[in-house]
Structure 1
Amino acid sequence: MIAILSPAKTLDYDTALPDLPQHSMPRLGEATGQIARGAARLGAAKLATLMKISPKLAELNARRYREFDQAPERPALLAFAGDVYTGFDAQSLEEPGFAFAQDHVRILSGLYGLLRPLDVIRPYRLEMGTRWAPGRASDLYAFWGTRIAALLAEDVAASGDGVVLNLASQEYWHAVAGKLPDGVRVINVDFRENGPDGPRFVSFHAKRARGMMARWMCEHRVTDVEAMRGFDSDGYRFAGAEGDRWTFLRG
């Protein structure tokens, strides 16, 4: 089983790293370099328009791409610091958990394609849904084509049971949707909160829950997807399934 996460816009390159297994290198480096070189030629004004970000953030990211080859590197699971990764809390994960995550967790990325948790990455911002890509591709989905799905399919085959636990956002899952082999089973997970009018989706809580579920899988070394119905972090419980769409409810 492979659990799939989205990346985060927020990054952390300052917190001291815990003891880790040996770092690894991203496996789609040639394509990453092509994107980074293309982005470096855009300039801050164009990045601001494409990414819908402030001039200050645009200048930061323009500089990141200009200096990309000299930028510091950090394992992906400890570089991303958004809500999903707050839920995962990788800083407190013990070394055996990292080793398990390396085999069973993957992170989709607009710049890197598909990352293992210990793949080292440089600071960047580039959402998968950005309507730009280097060369003749109209956007990053077209640029990556089937490459991300093909690599993910290899990882799923190596995991042994042919199952993907989809904890990614729709924006990122779209990069592989419909491109995996027919034999791959995809479990889509929906996190809901009890409310006065019934269960409701709350983005902030759902993002944290995705990270918590991936963490729970690594802590318990879960390789059978059916056992994931036992996920109970932070008050969540399995509330039912419609085919391969599972719902977890809290409150």
Structure 2
Amino acid sequence: MSRQLPWRLADAADSPFPPAETALEQPAGLLAIGGDLQPVRLLNAYAGGIFPWFSGDEPLLWWSPDPRMVFQTDRVHLSRRFVRQLRHLEWRVTADTAFEQVMRACAQAPRPGQEGTWISEPMVKAYVDLHRLGFAHSVEVWQGDTLVGGIYGIGIGQMFFGESMFSAVSGGSKVALSALATLLRRQGVAVLDAQVENPHLLRMGAERWPRDRFLAHVRDAVQRPGQHESWAHTVGSVPVSDMLGRD
């Protein structure tokens, strides 16, 4: 008989997660409940192909959906028309210069069919802590001094787990995602986790991977040496045209 309830996590932050393969079919991908958002628990979760996702009135929920949405970092798609439009914009790209600002902008971004946000104050604090430890990163898109788009997520070894992105101006999130893929590819990171299916992500080249394929890749990639330090100085502030997939 299949398991009907999610695992309840132990209190110790470094206690192991159950195997991601044991996630429930309904609700699809729900694996565990409880625990906390301490850095060690979050890093253990991501390294096991698991992520937290819950609203403010819910207990802490942990997920590993099947299939998993991913981008191969050399296959993020921007339309030719959009790229032509960008040539007329004086946008610039930075990284790790406004991490918390990006998170809060993602929290405030409207989502069709969704009320509120899962990016609560405890989530902001937890990921800012990971950012200070060198595991959480952001990519920012600027028009002058105005933040017009951004994306953030978690990097472990040679694997990156995207969390959320936003646009304050049309196209800002597309540029942020494409720039992130370019940065990751230059670091040797082949796959960017996009978590759950979204029509917008599919149009940009996201793929559905069976969970077993995704987990096999993650378990290998997180063991490989990665860049666990700020990206700010290595990226600098560059024209958007330099970050759209042309190395």
TM-score range, shorter chain: under 0.3
Name whichever structure is richer in helix by fraction. 1
Q: TM-score w.r.t. structure 2 length?
A: 0.27
Name whichever structure is richer in strand by fraction. 2
Q: TM-score w.r.t. structure 1 length?
A: 0.27
